Amino acid sequence: MVGRTWAAGEAFTLADCAAAPALTYGEKVEPFSPAHPALTAYLARLEARPSFARVLAEVAPYAHMFPTG
């Protein structure tokens, strides 16, 4: 991902849509930072997208049901 904005290059694609949920929950179980700064930055870009930020806001009331670490 180094040198690319999104998973498949400079355009946001379905690959990014598919990666977002897995990375979001994966990071909660095993945090990426600081061992994987590029992955952490990619997830931050995903979470900053208005469409995905809305999904995160909508799932927030249920987040306590997800088992972490």
If pLDDT is split at 50, 70 and 90, which confidence band does 4 have?
confident
**Is the pLDDT confidence value at 1 over 60?**
no
Q: What is the pTM of this model?
A: 0.86
**CA pair distance 69, 54, nearest whole angstrom:** 25
What pLDDT, on the 0 to 100 scale, is given for residue 45? 96
State pLDDT tens for residues 15-25. Answer: 999 999 999 99
Please give the share of the chain, as a percent, with pLDDT higher than 70. Answer: 94
Q: What is the pLDDT of residues 47-63, one digit of tens each?
A: 999 999 999 999 999 98
Q: Where are the alpha helices (DSSP H) in the chain?
A: 14-29, 37-48, 50-59
